[in-house]
Chain A
């Protein structure tokens, strides 16, 4: 199903054809669920929030600009819901950016930096590290590497410039390597 197909389906839903919305759920349920799951590393929460993403998208489908990709719009809703959920929980498990970016480069731990690729090939370990990143770094990283979005699409989801997207992606990876060195 292409971008044009999505727009055609959305137009049908707007005309009152509710059954067509099931096609959009079918197509995007897995990516949205995966994004939320990796965002929180929480399967049950991903179920609830995925449902809410589609409910909101149905409720506000008239506000979707058909010049934009539907997937980008849907991920914007998902990201906003994730941010709301983080605030609601008031227990953000990420480290403050300055702490992550601290002076560990100058004082690396005993971990051998050469092992980083091998250590992070343990997917459970990498998942835990990703879930510790601050929100914007986590979001950018997941969209780029897990959902293969372009810089342009990520900048649209996050409401930032493309240059900023690239810097955020670079720093996200640097934070992951710093977390690894710190023995997180």
Chain B
């Protein structure tokens, strides 16, 4: 096809699909009878057009499990979003509750004299605290702990066996604050801590344990 023939490309396409105007058709047919290159291109493209229109396998069946897989991935994403929102709201609510309790407690036990200024060493209290957590589960082969402090890592932090049968322990190093957490039994079963002072719904019908790490000495 020569450079001057490129204007016939659009006409050929419309000719093949029957959209061409009568004047344009006459022009194209005349050109095809005079230009062997365009005539050959047109024959080739007609052949390709025919092959494409009669192609037998235009639609291919996906595997039967694909729909389930798609819907499961959507559900998984929705749950992870919901879990994130639940955790965030729970954490904010718990922090707010602690501030309110502290404010009320401070008001009720306020000293008659003005409060003394901060003493040296208070700054150190803003660092991490070590909290020992115990969990009794005699049938477990492995126990780990996961929560806000691990970004809910599915593996969690492994707990160690204590000397007593079925009793597991871990020393957590966390900053003062409020954390949701649970235990993972044998890498698959998520259970709340029955010893936790407080539990909140996890949004999926289960419960999350709440860990309060106050400023100051930790018992």
**Physical interaction between A and B:** yes
A55 at the interface (CB under 8 A from B): yes
Q: Whose C-beta in chain B lies nearest to the C-beta of A144?
A: B52
- Residues in B with CB closer than 8 Å to A116 are 44, 47-48, 51
A75 at the interface (CB under 8 A from B): no
Give Cα A180 to B74, complex, Å. 43
Q: Is the CB of A126 within 8 A of B55?
A: yes
Chain B 61-92 against A: per-residue CB contact (8 Å), 1 yes, 0 no?
11100110111011101100000000000000
Secondary structure type dominating chain B contacts: helix
Tell me the minimal C-beta distance from B205 to chain A in angstroms.
Answer: 17
The stretch from B6-14, B115-123, B140-148, B185-193 touching chain A is B6-14
Known: A47-B62, A145-B58, A173-B49. Is A55-B70 also a contact (CB below 8 A)?
yes
Give Cα A16 to B54, complex, Å. 42
Q: Is the CB of A29 within 8 A of B48?
A: no
Query: How many residues from B make CB contacts under 8 Å with A?
Result: 40
Q: Is the CB of B59 within 8 A of A54?
A: no
Tell me the minimal C-beta distance from B127 to chain A in angstroms.
Answer: 40
- Residues in A with CB closer than 8 Å to B50 are 117
Give Cα A50 to B61, complex, Å. 12
Q: Tell me the chain A residues, 102-161 only, with Cβ under 8 Å from chain B.
A: 105-106, 108, 113-114, 116-117, 120-121, 123, 126-127, 141, 145-147
Give Cα A127 to B71, complex, Å. 30
Give Cα A29 to B67, complex, Å. 7
Q: Is the CB of B54 within 8 A of A170?
A: no
The stretch from B35-43, B106-114, B163-171 touching chain A is B35-43
B41 is contacted by which of A34, A105, A163, A166 (Cβ under 8 Å)? A105
A169 is contacted by which of B13, B56, B58, B71 (Cβ under 8 Å)? B13
Q: How large is the interface on A (under 10, 10 to 19, 20 to 34, 35 or more residues)?
A: 35 or more
B53 at the interface (CB under 8 A from A): yes
- Residues in B with CB closer than 8 Å to A123 are 55-57
A25 at the interface (CB under 8 A from B): yes
* A-B residue pairs in contact (CB < 8 Å), sample of 28: A18-B75, A29-B70, A33-B60, A34-B59, A34-B60, A37-B60, A47-B62, A50-B70, A108-B40, A113-B40, A113-B44, A113-B47, A114-B43, A116-B44, A116-B51, A120-B47, A123-B56, A145-B55, A166-B13, A167-B13, A169-B13, A170-B9, A170-B45, A173-B45, A174-B41, A174-B45, A177-B45, A177-B47
Residues of A within 8 A of B (CB): 18, 21-22, 25-26, 29-31, 33-34, 37-38, 43, 46-47, 50-51, 54-55, 58-59, 105-106, 108, 113-114, 116-117, 120-121, 123, 126-127, 141, 145-147, 163, 166-167, 169-171, 173-174, 176-177, 180-181
Q: With A114-B43, A127-B57 given, can you name 17 additional A-B contacts, CB distance below 8 Å?
A: A25-B71, A29-B70, A50-B62, A54-B70, A55-B70, A55-B74, A108-B40, A116-B47, A117-B48, A120-B47, A120-B48, A123-B55, A145-B53, A146-B58, A147-B58, A167-B10, A170-B45
